[in-house]
Each structure stands twice: as C-alpha cells, then as structure tokens.
Structure 1
Amino acid sequence: MAKGKKGPKGKKITLKIAKNSIKVTIDGKRRLDLSKMGIATFPKCILRMQDIDELDLSRNMIKKIPDTIQKFQNLRWLDLHSNLIDKLPESIGQLQNLLYLNVANNKLTNKGLPQEISTLKNLRMLNLGLNNIESVPTTYGALKELKEVGLFDNYLTSVPVSIQNLPKLKKLNTKRNPFPQPAEDEVLDSIKRLEALYLVNEKELCEPCLTKCQQQRDKMNDIIREPAACKRKPLFTNLITPNSTARENQADWR
C-alpha cells in the first residue's frame, strides 16, 4: 500500500440498513445478516440491537472485533468467517449463551486466540480453520459441550489431548496441517510386524482374514509412498468468494 493511503473504507452500515437486514429463523430467533456487504469496520450502530440472537458478519473485510461484542448477551450464533481478523477480543468469553462460533478463513495466530474462549461453557461448534494457528490452547478442553471442532488448514503439528478427549465431540477436522510423519524406523518396525501376518499360506486363512491382511498391507504401502508434509501450504487468505480449489471444501470453512 502506497505511503499516505488508507485501506478500503468499505460500506457504511446505518441503523436503518441493519434493521432491514434482520431475519427471523425457523425457530423464531432474530438474526442480523450483514454478510457479503463489503464492510471494513465493525458497525457501531448495531450496538443498539443488542437483543439479537444471531449475528452474521461473514465474507467482509473486517480487521477487528471490538470489546463491545460482549454487549450481545443473547447471542447464540456468531459467524465471522472470511474476514481479515487477526485477533479476537478477550470479552468474547462473556457471551455465555453462544452455541456456534465460526472464525474460519481469517488471519488468526496463536496470539489472536484468547484463553477466555474456554469460558464459553455452552459452545457446541468452534471453527478455527483456514488461519495461521500453530497451536491451540489446552484450556479449550474445558468446553465440554463441544460437538464439532474445525482446525483444518492451519500450521498445527499436534492437537491437545484435552480437545481430542472432549466427551461430546463428534467431529474433529484437522485436515491439511503439517503433522509430523512417522520416523523411518517406526515405519520399518510396522512393516516387520505386518510381514509376520503373512507367514502362513493364504489357503489357511478365511476370506475375511485374508481381506483384512491385504488391506493392512495396502495401507502400509500408502504410508511409505506418501511424501513428507510441507511446513508451508497455500491458504485462501482474504477469501470472500471461494475459488475453484476452496470451493471443494466450503462445508469446512463456512
């Protein structure tokens, strides 16, 4: 950006525009939908609509979420995916009714993830995919109601055991992270153990057992052929409308 020039101003949202953007969900909740409106700054006028149940600011150009987000005490659903956010405010931990939090496809790093998220005791879904996160706070294991966690397309080399063992967890998406590959000696040991399964004549095995052994051998061959994971990988930064590659994974980052 040239010296003296400011970033995009974005569309100005007035209270009238915000009120006209209110939708009622099937279960009677009030959703303020300001997605895909070219907004660059969090609209202050919506602070006068603190009684809404759902807030959608996805697919804009917002860089910062203010501490005043805490005023939306009725919020159960907050969608901020596909913006330019690099840090979430600590006050987000005061949204105790929040069930759904989507901040995928932003610019979040480790420093941008507040520990206070671990106080959202009612949270059911947390999406942190498509960011620049290298590690996730182990304290997020306190979110006992979580059913879905998205950690895909980050820079993770491990996932805290406290998150893996969440009691109600049904889906943990960690695709396309640079997890370390098995050491060569570990692969060789696995091959030796696998070979031991074939020290009998095939005719002495029942058909299900033979099929299982063949599947295990195929799986091991795939591990041997699989290239080491790259430390860096393409990210769909600043994504508002998905390109052809990201379109295949829209269900993940939405």
Structure 2
Amino acid sequence: MAKGKAKGPKGKKITLKIAKNSIRVSFDGGLHLDLSKMGITTFPNCILKLADVDELDLSRNMIRKIPSSIEKFQKLRWLDLHSNQLEELPKAIGTLQKLFYLNLCNNKLTTLPEELKLLKNLHILNIGLNCLESIPISLGALSELREIGLFDNALTTIPNSVETLPKLKKMNVERNPFPDSANHEECVDSIKRIETLYLVQEKDLCHSCLKTCQGEKDKLNKLMNMTPSSSKKLTFPSLLTPNSSAKDNQEEWRVRGKQP
C-alpha cells in the first residue's frame, strides 16, 4: 500500500449552526462568540457570516493562520487568540479600528505586522509567550494603550516609544534576555509601569529596598503590639511588598480584558 504524506491533526469542523449556538450576550450587552477549547486547527470561514459580533474568542485551539478576511469583523472590540499555533498575523488586523483588547499570548509569533500601529483604540495588548526578538517601534503610535504583556519572549530591548506611551500603566517584560536586566527593570519601575507586587526573600533585595521593608516591618510589629491578642491571625491585604519574578498568568489577562 502506497504511503501518503503525513497529515497533521484534523481538528473539529465548526459549522454555522455550532457557531450560532456559541454566541452569548456579554455583560455589557454585546455579542460574544466563544469557540475556545474546541480543537480547531483551521480558522472556520463559516463565522464570517457572523461578523457583526463584538467579541471573538478562538483561544486554546490549534489554529496556525488567521486569514485576511478577519477584516470583516469591523465591530470587533475584543479578540482573544491566545494559546494557538500562530506564526504570523495578517496585515488586515490593522483594519479592526474598534479593537479594545487583543490577546496573542502563547503562540509562535516571530514578528508583528506594522499595521498593529493602526489600532488606535487598543487599551490592552498581550503578546507574551511568543518567539519575538524585537517589537516594532511603531507600536509607540498606540496612544490609548494601558497594558502590554511582553513576557517570555527573546527581547533584548524595548523601544523607547513603547516605554513612554502616555497612558501606559502596566508593562510586563519578565523573562526576556535583556543585556542588563537589573538596569532595565529599574528603568521600567521608575516610570511606574509595573503594578503587581509579590513577596521575596531578604537575600533578593538591594540595600535600600531592604531598609524600606524593615521599616514597614517595624510599623507592623508596633501595630500588632497595640492590638489585643486574638486566635485569628491579622491580615493586611493593602500592604505592598517588593517585586520578584512576575507571576501574572494567562487567566489574569483574559479576565482583565472583559472588565469595562
């Protein structure tokens, strides 16, 4: 029997009926098409007939390519493509002018199209866990960007145009091979881009940070001495602690995008 070419996983076939049954009304009244975790290997062209949805979730599948026909989703505000097999993005993604949230985390992207700079309404962009060695300077045109995830790539530098975006509040650059990681993290922290803080050991702290923490610890001890004894342990949820390795996970970014 003649041997044929090896084929990849066939994947689940998505019909228009399946897609229609996967539409839900989101918390703000928009239409949310959820085709996540469906075993899809090829972008289902049938959903082009549902291009009036506001949110599209194709995450956690095995999709290798997004076609240029994505441009038909002109009402799209929320696009989640994380955890697929994407190696590139179509230039047409830049036509999605209403896009507010874009999640491309955990794919195989090595480059980003310049057309991303056209997404003028983009507030949240997650491109962590890819194979990026650089990001376009043109991303500095995303003047509405509030959060960007660049963690777990192969980046050696971040363009100044991105670091100085006027409305940027959070930038996660953890686990990239920066030539001078300490100086880079200090620079990022000095412009207050990193907001999530975690407990670390004393040996991981510089002298000034350790001194600050000891001061906070002394204040805490005084407070505990002033408080009547109780069998219940005190908790201080608002107490800030120094940064250590980033522990932002994919679920946090996914949930953040659904907030108004």
Same fold, judged at TM 0.5 (above): yes
Q: How well do the aligned residues superpose, as a CA RMSD in angstroms?
A: 2.2
Structure 2: distance between partners of 1:109 and 1:124? 22
Give the 3-state SS of the residue equivalent to 2:71 in structure 1.
helix
Counterpart in the other structure of 1:230:
none
Counterpart in the other structure of 2:165:
166
Q: CA deviation at 1:217?
A: 8.3
1:49 and 1:157, CA in 2 relative to 1: closer, same or farther beyond 3 A?
A: same
Structure 2: distance between partners of 1:182 and 1:14? 48
The Cα offsets for residues 47-77 of structure 1, whole Å up to 9 and x where unpaired, read as 0001000000000000000000000000000
Relative contact order, higher structure (CA 8 A, sep 6+): 1
Q: Gaps spanning 5+ residues in structure 1: where?
A: 187-213, 220-246
- Counting matched residue pairs gives 195
The within-5 A match list for 1:95-110 is 95-110=96-111
Give the 3-state SS of the residue equivalent to 1:91 in structure 2.
helix
Structure 1: distance between partners of 2:7 and 2:55? 31
The within-5 A match list for 1:72-111 is 72-110=73-111
Confirm or deny: 8 A CA contact 1:34 1:57 kept in the other structure: yes
1:80 and 1:117, CA in 2 relative to 1: closer, same or farther beyond 3 A?
A: same
The Cα offsets for residues 131-177 of structure 1, whole Å up to 9 and x where unpaired, read as 00000000000000000000000000110000000000000000000
1:119 aligns with 2:118: yes
Structure 2: distance between partners of 1:140 and 1:48? 31
Structure 2: distance between partners of 1:60 and 1:10? 9
Seq. identity, % = 64
Counterpart in the other structure of 2:70:
69
1:152 and 1:252, CA in 2 relative to 1: closer, same or farther beyond 3 A?
A: farther
Scaled by the length of structure 1, the TM-score of the pair is 0.73
Confirm or deny: 8 A CA contact 1:150 1:252 kept in the other structure: no
1:216 aligns with 2:208: yes
1:253 and 1:157, CA in 2 relative to 1: closer, same or farther beyond 3 A?
A: farther
Give the 3-state SS of the residue equivalent to 1:176 in structure 2.
coil
Counterpart in the other structure of 2:249:
249
Structure 2: distance between partners of 1:102 and 1:22? 19
Give the 3-state SS of the residue equivalent to 1:78 in structure 2.
strand
Counterpart in the other structure of 2:52:
51
Counterpart in the other structure of 2:28:
27
Runs of 4+ in 1 over 6 A off after TM superposition: none
1:148 aligns with 2:140: no
Structure 2: distance between partners of 1:11 and 1:131? 25
Structure 2: distance between partners of 1:147 and 1:133? 21
Q: CA deviation at 1:215?
A: 2.7
1:32 and 1:158, CA in 2 relative to 1: closer, same or farther beyond 3 A?
A: same
Give the 3-state SS of the residue equivalent to 1:32 in structure 2.
strand
Counterpart in the other structure of 2:132:
133
Scaled by the length of structure 2, the TM-score of the pair is 0.71
